Copies of this chain bind each other. A is one copy, B any other.
Amino acid sequence: MANFKGHALPGSFFLLFGLWWSVKYPLQYLSQKVTKKSHKIYCFQRVDAIEGGIKIIFALIGMLAEQFVPDGPHLYLYSGENRDWVKLMNWQHTTMYLFYGLSGVVDVFTYVSQAVPQGLDRLMLSVAVFVEGCLFYYHVLHRPMLDQHIHSLLLIAVFSGACSVMLEVFLRDNIVLEMFRAGVTIVQGTWFWQIGVVLFQPWGGPMWDENDHSNIMFLTMCFFWHWAAAVAILAINYTLAYCCVQRCGRGSGEPYIGLGVRQQKCDTGSRAAFLNGSDEE
């Protein structure tokens, strides 16, 4: 939907997922240091499955919205009389949602059956993000300069996200990659809102001059302010997760810090062993 709602809807979806990930992954990472893993892991796997379900629901909402808004195609792809395609913009957005839906389905199957190979869920997510990026790339080609630029900035977040998720196929449960994914997703969400606000003035106000170069310079900078904000959010949520886990740790009677330190140590060792081949050993 080429209007404010059409950008606010996906923006909210991405924002929700980004914020949720920025809480979940720190919790998972920190709690694995304190308590028994086996049980933790299992319950976190269940969480992944629920996540998949929510993805599917969001994707369905998005697809239905794109199809059945008043000015939508209502599932008509080609109109016979005037021999032309119907509302391809909406159809392209539907396709984007479709792939996120597929990614959700794979998440659920990964939880249900032991036979699904690990990493397939990450691969499917990465493909979904990549598809979103490609479709955006092609469908902003013939737009006014400002419109094109503001979307091309989005592509930075989209493609760097796709790459980092692709890496997770091989470096699973790497907290750094997971935090990066969370951050990029938050940026994508907030930037969708920004696009909607800039292009469609939901609360009135003057149109932006589409050909004023200084507007483009401002938006470039603004995009990275969103990024800085996302970093701040990640830091806050990580700290909250840390405090909460530490309290539980105390609750279960074992001092966390000490454990943390030891953990950290051997953790360092192991990481060095697997990746560096440096002389540390």
Q: Which of A63-71, A175-183, A189-197 contacts B (4 or more CB under 8 A)?
A: A175-183
CA gap between A88 and B113 in the complex, in Å: 52
> Across the interface, which residues of B come within 8 angstroms of A99, CB to CB?
224, 228
User: 15 interchain pairs (CB within 8 A)?
Assistant: A41-B280, A85-B215, A89-B217, A114-B257, A114-B260, A127-B231, A135-B220, A139-B220, A142-B213, A170-B171, A171-B275, A173-B272, A271-B277, A273-B274, A275-B277
Q: Which residue of the partner chain, among B221, B227, B261, contacts A88 with CB atoms under 8 Å?
A: B221
Task: Let me know if B172 and A120 touch, CB within 8 A.
Answer: no
| A49 shortest CB reach to chain B, Å | 15
Interface of A toward B, CB cutoff 8 Å: 29-30, 32-33, 37, 41, 84-85, 88-89, 91-92, 95, 98-99, 102, 113-120, 123-124, 127, 131, 134-135, 138-139, 142, 156, 169-176, 179-180, 213-218, 220-221, 224-225, 227-228, 231, 238, 242, 257, 260-261, 263-264, 267-268, 270-281
In the complex, the chain B residue whose C-beta lies closest to that of A246 is: B115
Q: Which residue of the partner chain, among B84, B173, B176, B275, contacts A280 with CB atoms under 8 Å?
A: B173
Task: Let me know if A214 and B95 touch, CB within 8 A.
Answer: no
Q: Provide the main secondary structure of the chain A interface.
A: helix
Q: Which residue of the partner chain, among B115, B139, B267, contacts A217 with CB atoms under 8 Å?
A: B139
In the complex, the chain B residue whose C-beta lies closest to that of A134 is: B156
> Across the interface, which residues of B come within 8 angstroms of A114, CB to CB?
257, 260-261, 263-264
Task: Let me know if A227 and B131 touch, CB within 8 A.
Answer: yes
| A127 shortest CB reach to chain B, Å | 8
Q: Which residue of the partner chain, among B32, B119, B217, B261, contacts A92 with CB atoms under 8 Å?
A: B217
Task: Let me know if A214 and B88 touch, CB within 8 A.
Answer: yes
> Across the interface, which residues of B come within 8 angstroms of A123, CB to CB?
176, 179-180
Q: Which residue of the partner chain, among B29, B127, B214, B277, contacts A270 with CB atoms under 8 Å?
A: B277
Task: Let me know if B115 and A260 touch, CB within 8 A.
Answer: yes
